[in-house]
Amino acid sequence: MNRIAIVEDDQGYRDTLFTYIKQYEQERDTAFEATPFEKADDFLAVYNGDYDIILMDIEMPGTNGMDAAEQIRKKDAQVVIMFITNMAHYAIKGYEVGALDFVLKPIQYLNFANKMDRAMQLVENRGSKPVMIQTGTGVKKIDSRDIFYVEIQNHVLRYHTKQGNFEVRGSLKNVEEELPKGLFAKCSNWCLVGLTHVAEIKDDTVIVEGDELQISRRSKKNFMTALIRSVGRS
């Protein structure tokens, strides 16, 4: 199930967006978890990369939608942002923060649905991201969906993938930042797991493509939360 944040200070428009989302769910045979926020500041206080689409008003008390989008982009380059506004002149600045599109007020359902189609296409393709791995013989291009897990030992990264295993010097933190958010999570400080490849959890281990990986006590809560959310999005 994909998650949508509705960041809009006007109750009437929040209600309209909820109604349109329900209609879109029925017409497209899909499902969303939609959460309302009256202020951008309230949303920024809790946002940690766990939404797929953000419907953002621009003119709001406190932090406006454009400034909020700039803050979001500093920690999440992938989430889909659509502005809900009657301020068409914000278009150029909106694209500077990577907004997908604008839905102009008063909101018409057909226009909203067409833009949601574009947003969903981006969300569905988000897990497909090429990763360039510098090997001893050259550069290997791997689709991020084909990465089972990445482990590190003595500053050497080992990628376990459908195409085989590859070793390269690097930082696990940099790998985590490069890969799609919500599809990978650390089961320990030395191992990053592709959540779609998890087959089973047994006590303090996770089974990934037949390999048993240790889940550290420190990482377990965040790892399990990420795993549950990834199942909801599939």
CB atoms inside a 10 Å sphere around CB 203: 6
Q: Which CATH number is 2-125's, of 3.30.470.20, 3.40.50.2300, 3.30.43.10, 3.40.50.970? A: 3.40.50.2300
Sign of torsion over alpha carbons 91, 14, 77, 32: negative
Work out the end-to-end distance of the chain between its first and last CA atoms, rounded to an integer number of angstroms. 7
Reading the block at residue 183, the tokens are: 């599809």
Kindly indicate the confidence band of residue 57, based on its pLDDT and cuts at 50, 70 and 90: very high
Amino acid present at 70: E
Alpha-carbon radius of gyration of the chain: 20
62: left (phi over 0), alpha (psi -120 to 50) or beta: left
pLDDT at 137 over 60: yes
Kindly indicate the confidence band of residue 130, based on its pLDDT and cuts at 50, 70 and 90: confident
Kindly indicate the confidence band of residue 233, based on its pLDDT and cuts at 50, 70 and 90: low
Among 176, 216, 218, 210, which Cα is nearest to 193's? 176
Among 51, 195, 184, which Cα is nearest to 119's? 51
Mean pLDDT of 35-56: 95
What is the residue-averaged pLDDT of the chain? Answer: 90
Q: CB-based burial of residue 212 (10 Å sphere; 0-12 exposed, 13-18 middle, 19+ buried)?
A: exposed
- Note the Cα 162 to chain centre separation in Å: 23
CATH 2.40.50.1020 in the chain, residue ranges: 130-233
pLDDT in tens, 59-73: 999 999 999 999 998
pLDDT at 196 over 90: no
Domain 130-233, CATH homologous superfamily name and number: LytTr DNA-binding domain (2.40.50.1020)
Measure the CA angle with vertex 51, ends 48 and 56; round to 5°: 100
Is the peptide bond prior to 130 cis by the omega test (within 30 degrees of 0)?
Answer: no
Kindly indicate the confidence band of residue 92, based on its pLDDT and cuts at 50, 70 and 90: low
Amino acid present at 83: F
pLDDT at 182 over 90: no
Region of poorest pLDDT, from 94-98, 108-112, 173-177: 94-98
Kindly indicate the confidence band of residue 82, based on its pLDDT and cuts at 50, 70 and 90: very high
Mean pLDDT of 45-52: 89
* pLDDT greater at residue 138 or residue 58: 58
CATH 3.40.50.2300 in the chain, residue ranges: 2-125
pLDDT at 49 over 90: no
Helix or strand run (H / E) with residue 67: helix 65-75
Reading the block at residue 109, the tokens are: 């359902």
